[in-house]
Amino acid sequence: MIGTPNNGRLRLAFSLVNGSQDLGPESTPVSHAGSECGAIEFTREDVEALVSEKMKSKNKFNYKERCENMMEYIKRLRLCIRWFQELEGEYAFEQEKLRSALELTERRCYEMEMALKNKDEEMNLIILELRNSLASLQEQLVKEESEKKAAMDSLVKEKEARDSIERTKASLSEELDKVRAELDSANQRIASINDMYKLLQEYNSSLQIYNSKLQTDVTAAHETIKRGEKERLAAVENLHNLRGEHKSLQDQLTSSIASQDGVMKQKDALLNEVACLRMELHQIKDDRDQYQQQAQSLAVEASKYKELATNSSGLEEKCLSQGNQIQILHDQLAVAERKLQMSDTFALEKRKEFEEQKEIIEELHKCLEDAEFKLIEGEKLRKKLHNTILELKGNIRVFCRVRPQLADDSSSNHGKVFSYPTVMEYLDRSIDMAHNGQKHSFIFDKVFMPDVSQEEVFVEISQLVQSALDGYKVCIFAYGQTGSGKTYTMMGKPGQPDEKGLIPRSLEQIFQTIQALQHQGWRYEMQVSMLEIYNETIRDLLSTNRDSSRFENGVTGKQYIIKHNANGNTQVSDLTIVDVQSSREVSFLLDRAAQSRSVGRTQMNEQSSRSHFVFTMRITGVNESTEQQVQGVLNLIDLAGSERLSKSGSTGDRLKETQAINKSLSSLADVIFALAKKEDHVPFRNSKLTYLLQPCLGGDSKTLMFVNLSPEPSSAGESLCSLRFAARVNACEIGTPRRQLNIRTSNSRLSYG
């Protein structure tokens, strides 16, 4: 009797019974749910035991017992058969599934092969096109280089011609001076003759009453006067003739000089060609003479042969051959004459081509000179118009920027705080703010919506940065509450080139422009310094001595003093100044300064700037060709964030920092309001920040303020205060910007004004 199918031990799967392989590990396991077999599995031993099992009974005549055993045996056989059928169906289903998967895989492989083939063909076509374009570009490059070389050669020759013209002009000017000297001497003689005439008239009147015999002397004197008049008229006519001859000589000289070079060049080329042709003609004439001599000798021999024709038939044959040779020589002579005519026509064609090429070279040279002149004039006009536009826009300009919503901003927004009117007159210049049920409207020079990129923001200030290279003082500073995006606007995100701030982009533009201006003769020197104002104390961020910049009880080890000179420049004593020559060097200094800057955590911002950061670059430029010298200053300032004590939750050192920040920003507001009211006294000395920025706010600098706003409704009160302050700043009027043309001395220090 067979007990339970598994018999309490681990059995092999039934796939081994019929010799097939097990399903792979990724195949769907066999499910027995809903089948009468349940989770029962049969092995080879179970099936063989079931088939070879024999009915046993104690009494072979006990049919009832035999029937019961048979019924149990039949039941187990049916169970085994049903299990076989289910297993066979599952294998058939799995086989069909694998077949469909195989077809799908084959179809995908075919599609991938076709796509790969198409891509390969496309790449071959692209490579062929690129090769063709590369070959054409190389040919064009070679052609342009040859044209450039020819143009340069012609330019050198024209310069030599100009030098000769200048020398001739100098000699003519010397001759003109000689003629003028002769004219002056003639005028003096005429004046002396006139004086003599007056004296003689007086003498004649006095002598007429006393002696009539002297009448002959009077007539002689009259004759002398007439001769003097004739000499004067002759001198005047000679002078006019000399002037006309001088003018005609100048005209002839200019025309002859203009045509002399071309004629000489044509003459040299033609002389070379004529020499070659003459040599060929001489050779052909020598050949012709030789052939003629041979023909004459042959003719003499032929006459002799004719006389002897009656004597020998061999002489006749020789005469015939000599005649053939003569004909061949005549044909060769005709061919030589045709070659000479072809060489003449070829020389004419080459001469025409030479003249055409010469005209083309002259036109190209004129175009090159016009282009260089237009380039220089255009650069001058650009600088003039650029600075005029910035002056018309106002010396203190205000830009407004609203940062986008961040992931950690509060989600309990009760509506949008800011809106942007679409009226064409105020498009991209106005902003509306809703606060406590009221609507507040403001107009600035530019308003940036939250979706504006860093590159678009920099485009608006790029011309202002250019002013620093043109010799002006430029100041750009970011203002706003904590967490409004000031540091992001000025510095950007480190490690993300697309989100670089205004300071890195300004440096890239400056160094790119310096490279572009080198071919115009400009050479620049740059100096950089970086400092922060922390708790009303100046701190050098580039100092190599870390102990000197360490704070002890709110005071640094080294004290820095701000001084203003008579030229409106600002100097900070003992401040580290670094000479830089590339944007990479400045980026390294910026990273070093960022690590040294004071930051802290408040309830409003995880990494809040607790100090005012001031980046200064002084630019000194010299044009070697025009001897023009410019000196500009670029100040880029990231102010600390303004915040209310109740909202920031500052205590201890953070409380002192917040109080110092708010005090300096309040001093900045007092300075702006005093400038707006045009008061006699402006309180620049109330804080280190305003005293440092005195030339930028009240002097001759071009100043721009970025007011940064947070879109959170909880910050609406701070945003409204920032907007009102920015509106007051936008209404300020300061002095006209002045271009710095002073020469930098050897011991000059970096200024902030």
3-state helix/strand/coil string of 446-512 = EEECCCCCHHHHHHHHHHHHHHHHCCCEEEEEEEEECCCCHHHHHHECCCCHHHECHHHHHHHHHHH
Under 8 Å between Cβ of 309 and 316: yes
What are the pLDDT digits (tens) for 591-605? 888 887 766 445 444
pLDDT of residue 557: 59
pLDDT of residue 41: 67
- The mean per-residue pLDDT over the stretch 655-676 comes to 83
What are the pLDDT digits (tens) for 515-524? 988 888 889 9
Which stretch of 13-22, 194-203, 283-292, 673-682 has the lowest confidence by average pLDDT? 13-22
pLDDT of residue 395: 56
Residue 16 has pLDDT above 50, yes or no: no
Dist CA 348 CA 330 (whole Å): 27
| Structure-token pair, residue 170 | 């100098």
Dist CA 651 CA 640 (whole Å): 17
- The mean per-residue pLDDT over the stretch 655-667 comes to 83
pLDDT tier for residue 305 given thresholds of 50, 70 and 90: low
698 is in an annotated binding site: no
60 is in an annotated binding site: no
Residue 163 has pLDDT above 70, yes or no: yes
pLDDT tier for residue 79 given thresholds of 50, 70 and 90: confident
Dist CA 751 CA 753 (whole Å): 6
pLDDT tier for residue 4 given thresholds of 50, 70 and 90: very low
- The mean per-residue pLDDT over the stretch 477-506 comes to 89
484 is in an annotated binding site: yes
How far separated are the first and last CA of the chain, in Å rounded? 110
Helix (H) or strand (E) holding 442: strand 438-443
Output the 3-class SS for 297-341: HHHHHHHHHHHCCCCCHHHHHHHHHHHHHHHHHHHHHHHHHHHHH
Q: Exposed/middle/buried for 172, CB within 10 Å: 0-12, 13-18, 19+? A: middle
Higher model confidence: residue 616 or residue 331? 616
Residue 398 has pLDDT above 80, yes or no: yes
pLDDT tier for residue 125 given thresholds of 50, 70 and 90: confident
485 is in an annotated binding site: yes
| Structure-token pair, residue 143 | 């052609």
Dist CA 383 CA 473 (whole Å): 15
pLDDT tier for residue 252 given thresholds of 50, 70 and 90: low
What are the pLDDT digits (tens) for 499-516? 899 999 999 999 999 998
Closest to 657 measured CA to CA, from 699, 695, 701, 602: 602
Higher model confidence: residue 519 or residue 309? 519
521 is in an annotated binding site: no
Higher model confidence: residue 48 or residue 253? 48
252 is in an annotated binding site: no
Output the 3-class SS for 647-667: HHCCCCHHHHHHHHHHHHHHH
pLDDT of residue 136: 74
Which residues are CB-contacts of 123 (< 8 A; sequence separation ≥ 6)? Answer: none
Residue 497 has pLDDT above 50, yes or no: yes
- The mean per-residue pLDDT over the stretch 719-745 comes to 74
480 is in an annotated binding site: yes
Under 8 Å between Cβ of 520 and 435: no
Residue 741 has pLDDT above 70, yes or no: no
Higher model confidence: residue 331 or residue 506? 506
Higher model confidence: residue 3 or residue 356? 356
Largest CA distance in the chain: 213
pLDDT of residue 7: 38
Give me the chain's average pLDDT, please. Answer: 76
Which stretch of 215-224, 493-502, 673-682 has the lowest confidence by average pLDDT? 215-224
Under 8 Å between Cβ of 513 and 469: yes
Higher model confidence: residue 402 or residue 605? 402
pLDDT tier for residue 154 given thresholds of 50, 70 and 90: confident
Strands (E), 375-417: 396-402
Strands 522-534 and 578-580: antiparallel
Proportion of the chain above pLDDT 90, given as a percent: 10
pLDDT of residue 619: 92
Residue 29 has pLDDT above 60, yes or no: no
Dist CA 196 CA 190 (whole Å): 10
pLDDT of residue 329: 77
486 is in an annotated binding site: yes
Strands 438-443 and 446-448: unpaired
Closest to 339 measured CA to CA, from 277, 295, 275, 271: 277
Dist CA 467 CA 619 (whole Å): 11
Residue 174 has pLDDT above 80, yes or no: yes
Closest to 639 measured CA to CA, from 401, 480, 447, 504: 480
Proportion of the chain above pLDDT 70, given as a percent: 73
pLDDT of residue 524: 93
Which stretch of 272-276, 374-378, 498-502, 638-642 has the lowest confidence by average pLDDT? 374-378
pLDDT of residue 746: 43
Residue 5 has pLDDT above 70, yes or no: no
> Within a 13 Å sphere around the CA of 156, how many CA atoms are in the beta-carbon half?
5
Q: How many CB atoms lie within 10 A of CB 592?
A: 13
Domains and CATH numbers, the chain: 396-544+561-598+607-743 (3.40.850.10)
